[in-house]
Copies of this chain bind each other. A is one copy, B any other.
C-alpha cells in the first residue's frame, strides 16, 4: 500500500472527523483501501461514518458498502436517498454484490431503488439474481462474464472481449458458447493471447469444463471449487445455457461462514454474534443454549431423584458423578465432531451407516477399556471401597461406548433427515448424553452395591 496505516494516520483521520474538515478527510481517505475504510467505520459512531461516507467517490463508496457489516450498512443506507443509492452505488457494483445489498433492504425500498437504475440490462440482471436463495449457486453468482461464440476467430474474440470486458474487474477465463448460448468450454486469456489470430475458437478451447446448476447448495459449490482448485465456476441452467459465474472470493466467504456456523453451533451460540456486539445481543445469543442445557440438568436431577435413597446410603457415589458425566460428554462430542467435519468437507459418503457405527463401536470399546482401566487402577490404589471401584470402571466403559456410538449416529441421522448435522455437537445432544450417563451410572451402582455391600 502507498501509505502504512499506522496509529498516527488514524489520529489524523479522527482529528479531521472531529473538526469536520472535509478536505483533510478526503485526502486521507484517498490513501485507504475500501476494506480498511469499512473496518474503520465499524469503530466509529454512525454520525461520523455518515460524514465520511458522503466524502467518498462513488466507486469507493460502493466497495465500502459491500465490505461493511450488515448492521452498519443498514444505518448508512437509511440516510441516503434511493436515487443516489441507485445511480452512485448500485451502478458501480457487480450484479451479485448489488443483489446482495438490495436483498438486505425491504422489498418496497429495493423496488424503488431498482426503478432508478438507468442501465436496464443491469437492473434486469439484479432482478434475476434476487430470485435465488442466498445459500445457492444462483445466490452467489454474478452475471458479469465474457462469453465468446465458438465460431469466432481469435481476432474476433479479442474484439468481442474488449466490448464485454469493460465493466468486468477480473477476467479469469473466457467462456465459450454455441449459438444457443450453451456452454461448450473455457479458454484462458493467456492461451487466447498466444494463439494465431485467425484460428477458430472452436479449435483451441478446452472442453473439460466443470459447471453447476443455480439451485446447488453454496456449500457444495465451495466443495467443488476447493476440490478442483477453481478460481471461477460457471453456472448453467437445465439445458446447459450459461447463466453466470461464481468467483472464488465469494466462496471464501461461504467457507469461512460455514466453519463459523459449525463452530458456533458446537459452542452453543445462536448464530452471528461477534465479540464487538452489545451486551444485550451477546446475552440473547447465549441464553437459549444455556437454558436448554439447564433443562437437561433438571432432567438429570429428576433421574438422580429416583436414586436419592441410594445416594443417601452411599454418598461416595456422588464423588464420581461429574467424572462419568463429563467423560461421556467428551466422548460423544469427539465422535460427532469427526462426523460433522467429514460431512462438511464431503469426505464421508452416506452408504453403509451400519458399518460406520460398527467401527465407532470398536473405537468406543478401545477408548472405554483404556479409560476404565485407568480409573480402576486409580481407585484400587486410593479407595478402599471395591464396590465403588467396580461401579465407576464399569460405568465409564459403558458410558464411553454408548456416547461414542450415539455421537456418530445422531449427526448421520440428522444429515439423512436434511437437518444440519452440526447441531449434534451443540449442548442439546451433549445434554442427552449427560442424562443417559447419569442413568447408566446409577443403575450399575445399584446392581454392584446390592451384590457387594
Contact = CB atoms under 8 A, between A and B. Distances in A.
A209 B300 CA distance: 59
A262 to B, nearest CB: 7
A357 to B, nearest CB: 12
A267 interface: yes
Nearest to A146: B190
A333 interface: yes
B327 A297 contact: yes
Contact of A263 (B35, B259, B301): B259
Interface in A289-348: 289-291, 293-294, 296-298, 300-301, 304-305, 308, 311-312, 315-327, 329-331, 333-334, 336-339, 341-342, 345, 347-348
A305 B383 CA distance: 11
A229 B319 CA distance: 54
B262 A263 contact: yes
A205 interface: no
A287 B226 contact: no
Contact of A294 (B318, B327, B431): B327
Interface stretch (A16-24, A123-131, A360-368): A360-368
A414 to B, nearest CB: 15
A327 to B, nearest CB: 5
User: How many copies make up the complex?
Assistant: 2
Task: Tell me whether chain A's interface is mostly helix, strand or loop, or mixed.
Answer: helix
A183 interface: no
A262 B374 CA distance: 28
Interface in A239-262: 248-249, 251-253, 255-256, 259-260, 262
Nearest to A192: B193
Given A322-B300, A322-B304, A363-B283, A275 B331 contact: no
A286 interface: yes
B301 A320 contact: yes
B276 A322 contact: no
Contacts of A274: 338, 342, 347
A189 interface: yes
A348 B43 CA distance: 11
B171 A189 contact: yes
Shortest 4 CB-CB contacts between residues of A and residues of B? A297-B323, A267-B337, A259-B259, A275-B342
Given A168-B190, A291-B371, 7 more contacts: A171-B189, A189-B193, A226-B256, A274-B338, A286-B331, A294-B375, A298-B378
24 contacts: A1-B209, A2-B208, A33-B228, A35-B229, A162-B194, A248-B249, A252-B255, A262-B263, A263-B266, A267-B336, A274-B338, A289-B334, A290-B334, A291-B371, A293-B330, A294-B323, A296-B326, A298-B323, A298-B378, A300-B323, A301-B320, A322-B325, A325-B325, A326-B430
Interface of A: 1-2, 33, 35, 39, 158, 162, 165, 168, 170-172, 188-190, 193-194, 207-210, 225-229, 231, 248-249, 251-253, 255-256, 259-260, 262-264, 266-269, 273-276, 279-280, 282-283, 286-287, 289-291, 293-294, 296-298, 300-301, 304-305, 308, 311-312, 315-327, 329-331, 333-334, 336-339, 341-342, 345, 347-348, 356, 359, 362-363, 366-367, 370-371, 374-375, 378, 400, 425, 427, 430-431, 434, 438
